[in-house]
Structure 1
Amino acid sequence: MTTTFKVTGRHVFNVWRIMRSEQTLGSYTFENVAFYLLRKRVPRHTPATLTRWYNSESPVHTARVLGYFRDRTVMTLDILEESETTTKTAEFARVFGVDFHSVISRGSQFKVESFLFRIAKPESFVLLSPSKQDVGKQNAAECMPLIMEPLSAFYNGPLVVLDFQYLYPSVMIAYNYCYSTCLGRVADFQGRNKLGSTDLDLPPGLLEKLQDHITIAPNGIIYVKPSVRQGLLGRMLTERDGEAGDEERQERQGALTRGSSFPYSRCLSAMSRILDARQLGLEYIASVMYGYTSATYSGRMPAVEIADSIVQTGRETLERVGVWWTCVFEERRPIPCEIQAISVIDTTAKWGARVVYGDTDSVFIHLKGKTKEQAFKIGYDIADAITAMNPAPIKLKFEKVYLLCVLMAKKRYVGFKYETPDETEPTFDAVRRDGVPAQTKMTETCLKILFCTQDLSENFIFAKEVRMGTYRRGIACIAMPGKVQAIRLISDKVPLPPGVAVAARRILQDENDEPQYGERVPYVIVCGDSHTRLVERAIYNVNHQTIAHRRVLLHYQGADTPAGAHLANRFKIYEHFQSARCLTCSCTAQDGKLDLVCWIDTDVLLGICEACHANLQVTIPTLLLRLRKGEQMLLSASSEPIACMNIECPWLYERTKAEQKLDFLEGLRTLIEDLDVS
């Protein structure tokens, strides 16, 4: 998020990267970010236009350039203030214990170690610093999170979503998984008791002495219980969460005791932002703690055995119930594993529930034949029951209810979402940014029709009427976002991806016009001829992206729509001929020809018919009146063309239409002059 540009005594931010990491947008141009954060439309001028204005002899043009950059500078500061970048970064620095610049420039491992150092030092622990070679010699990971293959279908009954709140951090706290509590494997692996990049050399008789005070993880790694030693990783999470919760409760309680003369919302306006930023920092630490132990490639202190213990315990927490597994110790003693969620849900008759999808820490439960109110009640009952079966702080949290939902594949689902029982208007939960805006709009409309009416005939009518050519919302509606990560040399032998090809052409025109790493470069695919590649043809992309995607969605409702894939290929016969229309009486010439013709656009020829040409006393005043109305509309127009090229602004396309009308007026004037001469 930083930049290579350095200023002594100043922090230099790459605002584009900050917005890309914090905001969820389809495009991260300055104009689009300013619109969504500041609710302002910002003009965009090309470098050629700005150069021409700056070199112009007119002071107005020079002032316009300076004002353009002044406004963008001020709005950049407004964007940082609106996104609370400075507040959050400062609070992150206090929570992590690092300097302000390191919050932005350094990675997650540096922040975790800063946290860990402050807790490890009073306990006389020293953090290990393995080399890259030692990290590469670790044992391979053995465990994977549970990601079930979903039962793909259209569900017209309630679909309850339950989520384990911070599953991996909760597992570390509940079972005391940590570097400082690990005693290695139950049995040596290949003659070594290896932990991460080092070997454990336990004193003789230690395991026998601690046999009643140990926990054996599902992957066979031994940990001591908190009664012997509390793990540092668990302390990091519990102590910070406790401090943040106490501070927040004190601040909010203090605001409430001030009475009505100092409103609650007004009192907490500044403090809430600070507490929210602090809570985000704590959530960040909790989310990256597991990643610190499992960073097997570039880790600073990885331990794949601890990471496997966390993953496998979380998997079994989600998987099945009542499993007793036998630990291998001096005596074969059964130790109860954690109570598992999915099997409990499937086997409890009073709920009548069925798990149709599970993903790492969440479950999707289908309640066939239940109402929305019953779904909320059963969902809360399931969450409370599973939470009570697991050790604290493992908690199954009720998230939401989908009433009418399409479950397609892993991490791909869409439906009407309800988060509270009192909610009457559902939220359409479908967020994807990797497609064309027109495709997103068409898919969303089709799904809403399907959910609201469950009538496939209406969907067919919509699919037949809505075509790519009927969208009049500008290029931004059909522009495809292509992510650019590396620009290779242009070669005739190796075709470039479309986004990279557009970026390469921009660089050939201007070496400084290079996109950011990971920037989405929009491009539009037009109708290519028979010699172009398939990916460069608009019809191919429409069939294999927009229509094909909608056909897959409708397939789960039982609709077979093979003909829909050819809608974009259907042309009507009049599209191959040019029509002609009279400007006075609006009649269409039967033979496709008019007496006098003026070209307005490539599709329609406008002129006057034979009857109107024979009655010039009525025709010419009618045309003059039409010309006068058009010229009156132009009285308030700018004296010079507007050079804004913001493709995300709808006024760009309205202005283009107005310019086409100006061409029409010029052609109309020429036609009137020809009639006067004749």
Structure 2
Amino acid sequence: MSSPEQLQLILEPQSKVYFDPIIVLDFQSLYPSMVIAYNYCYSTILGKLAYLNDMKNPENYEEIVLGAMKYQVNKDDLVNQVAYKNIHVSPLASVFVKKSTREGVLPLLLREILACRIMVKNAMKRTTSKKRKRILDARQLALKLVANVSYGYTAANWSVADAILGKGRETLERAIEMVQKGDYSGAEVIYGDTDSLFVLVKNANLEKAFEIGRKIAEDVTNSNPDPVVLKLEKVYLGCVLETKKRYAGWMFEHEKDQGKLDAKGIETVRRDTCPIVADVLEKSLELIFAQKWQEFGKYLNRIVDLMNSGNMRIGKFVFCKEYRGGYSNKAMVPQKKIAEKRVEKCRFNAVLSGERIPYVIVDGPPGSTVYSCVRSLREFATNPKLRINLQYYLQSHILAALRRVTDLLPTEIKLLPLASKQCFNLDCTRIGQTPWCIKCDKNGDELVGAMVQLSRHQKARAKIRRTCQSCQSCSSNLAEKQIEECANFSCLLKQTWSMMNRAEMEKVVENHKLY
């Protein structure tokens, strides 16, 4: 069996932050459409063009190998098909008969699946029941997935698979060429990926971008056989292209939409990062696309102050990465460390491959590695002396994610040294032996502020005890010891309680000289 010869088209993006509209167009069910439009199937293929040329010399002509089968093509039948133009040659020189001669099994199957999906989607529009609409939506999505994976099944025969892939690539390349050469107000293709293309329209507003997008979609659709359809999917009014398959934009699906953030491949949609990174990046992108530069700077400063104050829930700092198993003994993988500790405590508590392991990174002694600072949620929650390593989260994750965007802008983000851990006053950079520095220890206003915060903490702790009644069968308030022993680390109240204990507000007030 021959080896695969074709790959999907992925253009190298022009990495930049764009503020002009970007039109995103997408071919609907590209590969199933190629199968139907050009009758690609294992039941309609005649083999490679090179094999058929050997028929001129019968002594050199051998059986054609197609997958696990061998067969011969009748010379007279082939001549008749060529004479009546009933054959189609794929971009990689595989020969297929047209539908007029024989309709393939795959095209017939996919045509019925897609027709059924359209019928289900029409039923969705007519129904008024939310429950039934969800059921129908799940069914149409299932039909879509079945249609798309049919291409994967044909990979058992690379000749058919390459024909589908090659024709899809050729269709996308032809669409890109039409946009570049067409009269579309200077539209420029800045990125293309498999079945979609991103078109930049400079100096245009949202309405103009939608108008141009619809014209491009109509022209490309008319230039292709049925059922190949190019659809205007959305318009980005503000977009950042980082690398292949990593982008985000402020998305509009219609002219009257309010717009929302849409992202692919970056930290806002990835599951292997912590929530604080996703939240900060999402809000930052929103401000950048709106070109609110002063608000962007103030927002980052507020986040740093909030993190440094210790008033942020532990859940915001939790990584939840997949345990893959099969790690070597020398592998320095956080998931592996947590999994080994679980087994040490109980051999029946083994981690399964594919399971996601939550953990946090805490402060360690000078020179310690990140791996040595990995702690499970239970370890962190039960040890009030542990502190989140804010410097690591800021430098290695939050700023790293932001700089992948801001490096494409004429701006720079710098992180000033965090405030002293010894002084309670975040605006003070002096260092002392107690929670207060020498200056703040004599300032009555600082003591009053700390006492106000202590009062707030006490009220919040009382509220948590009252609220936690819902987690137990009896109606009496939970004692503090019971809350400490609570094992529900996904509970927001438990996370808040744990972080409040680390604030040590009683110690801060008691250690002030004027108290």
TM-score bin, normalised by smaller chain: 0.7 to 0.9
Distance 1:447 1:246 in 2: 39
> SS of the residue aligned with 1:265?
coil
Distance 1:532 1:472 in 2: 26
Equivalent residue letter for 1:520: R
User: Residue 459 of structure 1 aligns with which residue?
Assistant: 296
> SS of the residue aligned with 1:385?
helix
Contact residue 184 and residue 200 of structure 1 kept, 8 A = no
Aligned pair 1:213/2:86, yes or no? Answer: yes
User: Residue 100 of structure 2 aligns with which residue?
Assistant: 227
> SS of the residue aligned with 2:51?
coil
Q: Tell me by how many angstroms 1:543 deviates.
A: 2.2
User: Residue 574 of structure 1 aligns with which residue?
Assistant: 430
**Per the alignment, do residues 568 and 173 of structure 1 end up closer, same or farther by CA in structure 2, a change over 3 Å counting?**
farther
Distance 1:222 1:463 in 2: 60
Q: Tell me by how many angstroms 1:570 deviates.
A: 8.2
> SS of the residue aligned with 1:523?
strand
Aligned pair 1:555/2:398, yes or no? Answer: no
> SS of the residue aligned with 1:527?
coil
**Out of 184, 195, 203, which is 1:361 matched to?**
195
**Out of 61, 65, 70, which is 1:199 matched to?**
70
Aligned pair 1:184/2:47, yes or no? Answer: yes
**Per the alignment, do residues 419 and 495 of structure 1 end up closer, same or farther by CA in structure 2, a change over 3 Å counting?**
same
Equivalent residue letter for 1:648: S
Distance 1:632 1:359 in 2: 55
- Write out aligned runs for 1:320-339 (5 A): none
User: Residue 622 of structure 1 aligns with which residue?
Assistant: none
Count of residue correspondences: 451
User: Residue 275 of structure 1 aligns with which residue?
Assistant: 136
Q: Tell me by how many angstroms 1:458 deviates.
A: 4.3
- Write out aligned runs for 1:143-158 (5 A): 143-158=6-21
Equivalent residue letter for 2:162: D
Aligned pair 1:434/2:290, yes or no? Answer: no
Q: Tell me by how many angstroms 1:394 deviates.
A: 0.4
Aligned pair 1:590/2:442, yes or no? Answer: yes
Per-residue CA deviation, residues 320-359 of structure 1 (Å, 9 max, x unaligned), is xxxxxxxxxxxxxxxxxxxx10010011134321000000
User: Residue 384 of structure 2 aligns with which residue?
Assistant: none
Equivalent residue letter for 2:273: G
**Per the alignment, do residues 568 and 315 of structure 1 end up closer, same or farther by CA in structure 2, a change over 3 Å counting?**
farther
User: Residue 482 of structure 1 aligns with which residue?
Assistant: 321
Aligned pair 1:473/2:312, yes or no? Answer: yes
> SS of the residue aligned with 2:356?
strand
- Write out aligned runs for 1:386-465 (5 A): 386-423=220-257, 425-430=258-263, 431-455=269-293, 457-465=294-302
Distance 1:407 1:419 in 2: 19
User: Residue 477 of structure 2 aligns with which residue?
Assistant: 637
Equivalent residue letter for 2:159: E
**Out of 152, 161, 166, which is 1:307 matched to?**
161
- Write out aligned runs for 1:28-427 (5 A): 138-188=1-51, 193-211=64-82, 212-246=85-119, 265-266=128-129, 269=130, 271-294=132-155, 302-319=156-173, 340-423=174-257, 425-427=258-260
Aligned pair 1:509/2:345, yes or no? Answer: yes
Distance 2:314 2:255 in 1: 41
Contact residue 580 and residue 607 of structure 1 kept, 8 A = no
Aligned pair 1:649/2:491, yes or no? Answer: yes
Distance 1:607 1:348 in 2: 67
Contact residue 526 and residue 536 of structure 1 kept, 8 A = no
Equivalent residue letter for 2:319: M
Q: TM-score, normalised by structure 1?
A: 0.60
Q: Tell me by how many angstroms 1:278 deviates.
A: 3.1
Contact residue 361 and residue 370 of structure 2 kept, 8 A = no
Distance 2:67 2:459 in 1: 81
**Out of 343, 351, 359, which is 1:523 matched to?**
359
Distance 2:246 2:487 in 1: 35
Contact residue 124 and residue 136 of structure 2 kept, 8 A = no
Distance 1:400 1:662 in 2: 50
Moved more, 440-449 or 284-293: 440-449
> SS of the residue aligned with 1:180?
coil
Contact residue 215 and residue 224 of structure 1 kept, 8 A = yes
> SS of the residue aligned with 2:241?
strand
Q: Tell me by how many angstroms 1:485 deviates.
A: 1.1
Unaligned 5+ segments in structure 1 are 1-137, 257-263, 295-301, 320-339, 582-586, 593-603, 609-624, 669-674
**Per the alignment, do residues 482 and 469 of structure 1 end up closer, same or farther by CA in structure 2, a change over 3 Å counting?**
farther
**Per the alignment, do residues 244 and 662 of structure 1 end up closer, same or farther by CA in structure 2, a change over 3 Å counting?**
closer
Equivalent residue letter for 1:553: V
Distance 1:305 1:458 in 2: 56
Per-residue CA deviation, residues 498-537 of structure 1 (Å, 9 max, x unaligned), is 1121111111111222233212211111233344335556
RMSD: 3.7
**Per the alignment, do residues 450 and 630 of structure 1 end up closer, same or farther by CA in structure 2, a change over 3 Å counting?**
closer
**Per the alignment, do residues 580 and 252 of structure 1 end up closer, same or farther by CA in structure 2, a change over 3 Å counting?**
closer
Equivalent residue letter for 1:655: W
Instruction: Tell me: higher relative CO, structure 1 or 2? Use CA pairs within 8 A at least 6 residues apart.
Output: 2
Distance 2:13 2:121 in 1: 40
> SS of the residue aligned with 2:363?
coil
User: Residue 332 of structure 1 aligns with which residue?
Assistant: none
> SS of the residue aligned with 2:482?
coil
